[in-house]
């Protein structure tokens, strides 16, 4: 169960638990991150946003509607208010009472134990979020060279550049959707000037894309795997990392 799936070139693939082990537990909660750790994923992926009173919290959508018993925008809640919501019951009654965790709570619990892939989610809604994330990492001395199991990524590439300037020793990644399939070499070179990871929608991944990302000296971590077939296809294409709701698909099963 814990033998990594190897890429076609024999390399190990980094196993990233998307929003925690979100296929088994309610996404972006401590129980989901605990589950990812227990399943021996290499990284947890977390979506970071900001409350009305400037606190960093982990939640994917920009409203609380889907994953809690509340309604409304994340940015309209104070930390105290948002932490009164139940972020577990929607997934299963056994998870009732799970709270939306703070970013600081997560890094305090997991740094040094499992890698942390931090996504700045919709940072355009939260001016100053890059500084808040950087400050939390700097306070804990997590911004030093070779502190290499923390990565910051975003679909908002301006935000990635802002963050890279604040904490240049932390590796950064650019997230892309299906448009990753049509990226030019000039765009890849521009990304590589501030990013170490090029992280596309898995459906954009081809051998050619992987080769071109590697030629630009970045790693490629693809998202979001929800089946064994999808994991196996990405391994064939020799991606460096797989972001998955089910960490078990990035491990070899007997008889696989």
Structure tokens at 239: 């991606």
Of the chain, the end-to-end C-alpha distance in Å amounts to 11
Give whichever of 94 and 177 is closer to ligand G3P, judged by the CB atom: 177
Cβ(37)–Cβ(110) under 8 Å?
A: yes
Residue of the chain from 18, 143, 172, 237 that contacts ligand G3P (CB under 6 A): 18
Q: Is 52 exposed, middle or buried (0-12, 13-18, 19+ CB in 10 A)?
A: middle
Q: How far is the CB of 223 from ligand G3P (least distance, A)?
A: 4
Partner that binds at residue 36, options ligand G3P, Ca ion, none, CB closer than 5 to 8 Å by kind: none
Rounded Cα gap, residues 76 and 89, in angstroms: 22
Q: Is 251 helix (H, G, I), strand (E, B) or coil?
A: strand
Residue showing tokens 């809690």: 68
Identify which range of 2-10, 115-123, 182-190, 194-202 contacts Ca ion by CB under 5 A. 115-123
Q: Is 243 exposed, middle or buried (0-12, 13-18, 19+ CB in 10 A)?
A: buried
Residue of the chain from 21, 31, 36, 47 that contacts ligand G3P (CB under 6 A): 47
What is the footprint of ligand G3P within residues 168-197 (CB under 6 A)? 175
Per the residue annotation, which of 60, 143, 157, 237 is the catalytic one?
60
- Each as own residue / partner, the long-range contacts of residues 80-87 (CB below 8 Å, 24 or more positions apart, any chain) are 81/51, 82/51, 82/57, 87/26, 87/28, 87/29, 87/59
Give whichever of 68 and 199 is closer to ligand G3P, judged by the CB atom: 199
Residue nearest to Ca ion (CB): 119
Residue showing tokens 């925008």: 73
Rounded Cα gap, residues 124 and 91, in angstroms: 29
Give whichever of 159 and 211 is closer to Ca ion, judged by the CB atom: 159
Does 47 sit near Ca ion (CB under 5 A)?
yes
Give whichever of 98 and 119 is closer to Ca ion, judged by the CB atom: 119
Does 62 sit near ligand G3P (CB under 6 A)?
no
Alpha-carbon 150 to chain mean position: 10
Give whichever of 119 and 255 is closer to Ca ion, judged by the CB atom: 119
Q: Is 254 exposed, middle or buried (0-12, 13-18, 19+ CB in 10 A)?
A: exposed
Cβ(148)–Cβ(117) under 8 Å?
A: no
Q: How far is the CB of 27 from ligand G3P (least distance, A)?
A: 9
Partner that binds at residue 27, options Ca ion, ligand G3P, none, CB closer than 5 to 8 Å by kind: none
Residue of the chain from 224, 228, 233, 252 that contacts ligand G3P (CB under 6 A): 224
Does 119 sit near Ca ion (CB under 5 A)?
yes
The verdict on whether 60 is a catalytic residue reads yes
Residue of the chain from 243, 246, 249, 251 that contacts ligand G3P (CB under 6 A): 243
The residues annotated with a catalytic role in the active site are: 18, 60
Enumerate binding residues for ligand G3P (CB under 6 A): 18, 45, 47, 60, 119, 175, 199, 223-224, 243
């Amino acid at each position: 169960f814990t033998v990594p799936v190897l890429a076609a070139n024999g390399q190990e693939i980094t196993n990233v638990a998307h929003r925690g082990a979100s296929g088994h537990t309610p996404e972006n909660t401590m129980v989901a991150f605990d589950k990812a750790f227990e399943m021996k994923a290499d990284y947890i992926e977390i979506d970071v946003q900001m409350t009305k009173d400037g606190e960093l919290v982990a939640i994917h959508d920009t409203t609380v509607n889907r994953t809690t018993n509340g309604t409304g925008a994340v940015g309209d809640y104070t930390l105290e208010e948002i932490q009164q919501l139940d972020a577990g019951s929607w997934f299963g009654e056994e998870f009732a009472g799970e709270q939306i965790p703070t970013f600081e709570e997560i890094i305090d619990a997991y740094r040094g134990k499992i890698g942390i892939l931090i996504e700045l989610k919709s940072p355009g809604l939260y001016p100053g979020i890059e500084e808040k994330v950087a400050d939390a990492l700097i306070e804990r001395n997590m911004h030093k060279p070779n502190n290499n199991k923390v990565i910051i990524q975003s679909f908002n590439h301006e935000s990635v550049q802002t963050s890279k300037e604040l904490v240049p020793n932390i590796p950064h990644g650019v997230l892309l959707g299906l448009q990753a399939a049509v990226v030019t070499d000039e765009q890849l070179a521009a990304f590589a000037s501030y990013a170490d990871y090029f992280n596309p929608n898995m459906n954009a991944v081809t051998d050619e894309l992987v080769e071109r990302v590697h030629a630009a000296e970045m790693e490629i971590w693809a998202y979001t795997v929800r089946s064994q077939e999808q994991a196996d296809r990405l391994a064939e294409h020799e991606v460096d990392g797989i972001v998955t709701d089910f960490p078990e698909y990035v491990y070899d099963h007997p008889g696989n």
